[in-house]
Amino acid sequence: MGKKIFSGVQPTGNLHLGNYLGAIKNFVDLNNDKDNKCIFCVVDLHAITVKQDPKELKNNIRETVATFVASGIDPKKSIIFNQSSVAAHAEGAWILSCVARMGWLNRMTQFKEKAGKDKEKASVGLYSYPVLMAADILLYDATHVPVGDDQKQHLELCRDIAQKFNNDFKVENFLQVPEPLIQKEFSRIMSLKDGSKKMSKSELSDLSRINLTDDKDQIINKIKKAKTDPLPLPQSMKELDERLEAKNLIGIYSSLTNSSLENSIKNFAGKNFSEFKEKLTEELVNKIEPISNEIKKLLGDKSYLDEILLDGVEKASLIASKKIERIKEIVGF
C-alpha cells in the first residue's frame, strides 16, 4: 500500500548538502513511487522562530520551491505549498499546544542547541516549534515523515501528542500516529570545518557547507579546504568511527554514489586524502552543479514558482480545513 508522506523545509536560505542528502533526496525517491501521496511544505511559520528579514524571507520561500523542483520533485505529482497560507496549521498548533506537556518540550535538545546559553532571550515560538511541526504532520494524516536524524526527537513528540489527543478525547486512531523515515546511514551530514557539528544554514562560515546553489569552483574550493586529519584514509569501520572528519567525507561520498560505508572504505583504505578529495569533488560537482544551475534558472521565472505555490495551497487547504473542523468539534468548539 502507498504511503502518505509529509515533510517540511524551512525557507531560511542557504539550503545545503545536509538538507539534500538527509531529506530532499529521499523526498524525490518517495515522490517517484506512484503509490505514494506526497506533500512537501515550505515551513515559513517555523522560519520566523528566529529573526528573518521580511524581504529575504519572501525570496527564500521561492528559492525553497525552486530547490524542490530542481532536485527532481515533480510538482504535478505532489503538493508543494507554504505553511502560512493554510491557516489550519496555526490553529492546530494552538490546540495541540494544550495537549502537549511542558515536560515533553523541556526535553527537546534542538531548542537547547538553538537557544544557546541565553534561553531567556529565545522566542516562545522557538520553544514550541515541535508542536507546530506536530500540527503540520497530523493535519494531513501522514503515515510517514522523511526527515534527517536531527528531527527524530521532534517526530517522537509528534507521536506522543497524537496518542494523547486520541486518548484524552476517546477518539481511537483519529490522529494518525506517523512513522519517521530516517536513512540508516548518512542521516546526519556534518560541517566541513568541524566533524562534530551538523552542517547547517546558520553557521557563519560558508566554507562549512556545500550550498545547493554553489557552482563548480565553489565546490572544488570548499572540498579542498575541508578539514581532515594527517593520517591516510581509514582501513576499517572501527577506525572510521574514531575519525569524525574522515567519517563525514566518506559518508558524503557513499551517499552520493549509493554505496555502503564498508565499500567506500575498501576502495580508499590507506590512500591519501588528496586522491580521495578529487573523487569526492567529482561526485559532488556531478550531482550539485545541475541542481544549482536549475535553481538559478527557475528563480528567473517567479510567476511559475508562485503558480506552484498557489496550486499547492489550494490542494492543501482542502485537506487541512476538513481535519481542523473535526478537531474543533472533538475538543468541543
Residue choice 4, 6, 22, 319 for contact with ligand AQP (CB under 6 A)? 22
Shortest Cβ distance from residue 223 to ligand AQP (Å)?
Answer: 16
* Residue 322 burial (CB count, 10 A): 12
Q: Which three cell numbers stand for residue 303?
A: 510567476
Task: Give first-to-last CA distance, the chain, whole Å.
Answer: 35
- Asked whether position 151 contacts ligand AQP by CB under 6 A, the answer is yes
Residue choice 173, 196, 202, 303 for contact with ligand AQP (CB under 6 A)? 202
Residue whose C-alpha is closest to residue 185's, from 246, 239, 258: 258
- Asked whether position 60 contacts ligand AQP by CB under 6 A, the answer is no
Q: Which three cell numbers stand for residue 118?
A: 541565553
The window from 195-203, 230-238, 277-285, 288-296 that contacts ligand AQP (CB under 6 A) reads 195-203
Shortest Cβ distance from residue 326 to ligand AQP (Å)?
Answer: 27
Please give the residues from 26 up to 55 whose contact with ligand AQP meets the rule CB under 6 A: none
Kindly state the number of chain residues that form the binding site for ligand AQP, as judged by CB under 6 A.
Answer: 18
CA angle, residues 221, 226, 230, in degrees to nearest 5: 130
CA 190 to chain centre: 14
Give the residue with the Cβ less far from ligand AQP, 199 or 327. 199
The window from 8-16, 214-222, 223-231, 323-331 that contacts ligand AQP (CB under 6 A) reads 8-16
Q: Which residue has the cell 556531478?
A: 286
Q: Helix (H, G, I), strand (E, B), or coil: what is residue 136?
A: helix
Q: What is d(CA 127, CA 34) in angstroms, rounded to the nearest whole number?
A: 37
The dihedrals phi and psi of 75, each to the nearest 5 degrees, come to -65, -15
Residue choice 30, 96, 147, 210 for contact with ligand AQP (CB under 6 A)? 147
Which residues lie below 8 Å from residue 226, measured CB to CB, with a gap of 6+?
Answer: 192, 193, 245, 249, 277
- Asked whether position 150 contacts ligand AQP by CB under 6 A, the answer is yes
Q: What is d(CA 268, CA 280) in angstroms, rounded to the nearest whole number?
A: 11
Active site residue 201: yes
Active site residue 198: yes
Determine which one of 164, 201, 227, 315 is catalytic.
201
Q: Which three cell numbers stand for residue 324?
A: 481542523
Active site residue 119: no
| Residue, CB closest to ligand AQP | 22
Q: What is d(CA 100, CA 240) in angstroms, rounded to the nearest whole number?
A: 40
Residue choice 189, 233, 284, 319 for contact with ligand AQP (CB under 6 A)? 189
Residue choice 3, 4, 5, 18 for contact with ligand AQP (CB under 6 A)? 18
Residue choice 92, 130, 148, 251 for contact with ligand AQP (CB under 6 A)? 148
Residue choice 3, 6, 23, 38 for contact with ligand AQP (CB under 6 A)? 23
Task: List strands edge to edge, sheet with 179-181.
Answer: 78-82, 37-42, 4-9, 144-146, 179-181
Q: What is the contact surface with ligand AQP in residues (CB under 6 A)? A: 9-10, 12, 18-19, 22-23, 147-148, 150-151, 188-189, 198-202
Question: Which residues form the catalytic set?
Answer: 114, 198, 201
